[in-house]
Amino acid sequence: MLKSLKTVGFLTFFGNFVALVKIADIELGEFPLLLAPMEDVSDPPFRYVCKQYGADLMYTEFISSEGLIRDAIKSRKKLDIFDYERPIGIQIFGGDEEAMALSAKIVDATQPDLLDINFGCPVKKVVCKGAGAGVLKDIDLMVRLTKAVVKSTNLPVTVKTRLGWDESSINIMEVAERLQDVGIRALTIHGRTRAQMYKGSADWSHIARVKNNPRLHIPIFGNGDIDSPEKALEYRNRYGVDGIMIGRAAIGYPWIFNEIKHYFKTGTHLPKPLLANRVEVCRTHLLKSVEWKGPKLGLLEMRPHYTNYFKGIPNFKDTRTRLVTLNTLPEILEVLDQIPAQFEAASTV
């Protein structure tokens, strides 16, 4: 119980204690569900719909520390956050201590609720720069980078990382202990190595070992392969983590957060969204995209999402083709409005 007292707050209901997970002074509920930071996905329009459907803590797309310092337009744009998103974290990445420290000061000025460091991205163009999961090959550098960020901001600093570089160098326990020692306030672990990329199955047994380490008192969140309420409950009970981060399963399906919460409370499933519900959320996502990015870019970057929102609907190919080829908002909205009637038989898919 002593360990739990360090990681959570408590509320009393009729004499029973209900644990509340906290990152510094940020209360996240009993078992928070986090939206993963995903490049070209976790922008404000997508975060808006995920927040509407139960995400407890969200992060921006990861932002290059070098880009922030150069005042690159794309990097600066990713700093946009809104009050309805709170609590919200801004995630940065990089491999240079000075750049990370300076970018932390820039992030600090935008006043998010926390600052997250990405030590997990496996993409070659990031790793080759000595950033993301590339830092897993040099834990001393990881510690120096983290310490530089912690010293440069008043925000709680968290980290997202992987188990290690490859199967022969799984070093997550050392990483967790040393990063806690330099001041991080929570750790999210993706249960794969960098070598795995997104292939194979995530191994949560290493995440559980970290969580059960008596030397650690920060919240530990698990990430990887959570795509259903049943799996979320199984992994919560089996591995004992403080919360779960959900990534790919939320793309085109923000309902997953509330579905998991409902299943935790009742053991039953919420009804699947009807086709009309899918259209409504897709429409909201589209309008937010155009509002934030402008008509041209907003329409263009929305195109990949249509496949996910309407996944599994038979004979949808022609409609999808129209959605990704039309170039004006009124035309696309007209197609969306026609979908429920056109595919009524598939409305419960």
CATH 3.20.20.70 maps onto the chain at 25-266
Residue numbers annotated as active site: 121
- Whole-prediction pTM value? 0.90
Which CATH fold would you assign to the domain 275-346? 1.10.1200
What mean pLDDT do residues 327-345 have?
91
Could you give the CA distance from residue 206 to residue 239 in angstroms, rounded to a whole number? 9
Residue by residue, DSSP assigns 114-142 as EEEEEE----HHHHTTT-GGGGGG-HHHH
Q: Which CATH number fits domain 25-266: 3.90.1300.10, 3.40.640.10, 3.20.20.10, 3.20.20.70?
A: 3.20.20.70
How large a percentage of the chain has pLDDT more than 90?
A: 81
Closest CA to 259 of 86, 249, 310: 249
Closest CA to 188 of 210, 205, 215, 165: 210
**What pLDDT, in 10s, does the model give residues 31-62?**
999 999 999 999 999 999 999 999 999 999 99
Closest CA to 36 of 243, 290, 263, 307: 243
End-to-end CA distance of the chain: 45
CATH 1.10.1200 maps onto the chain at 275-346
Tell me what the pLDDT averaged over the chain comes to.
91
> With bands split at pLDDT 50, 70 and 90, how would you rate the model's confidence at 17?
low
CA atoms within 13 A on the CB side of 81: 24
pLDDT of res. 220: 98
**What pLDDT, in 10s, does the model give residues 203-219?**
999 999 999 999 999 99
pLDDT of res. 76: 85
Q: 276 CB contacts (<8 Å, ≥6 apart)?
A: 340, 347
Q: Return the H-helix or E-strand segment holding 267.
A: none
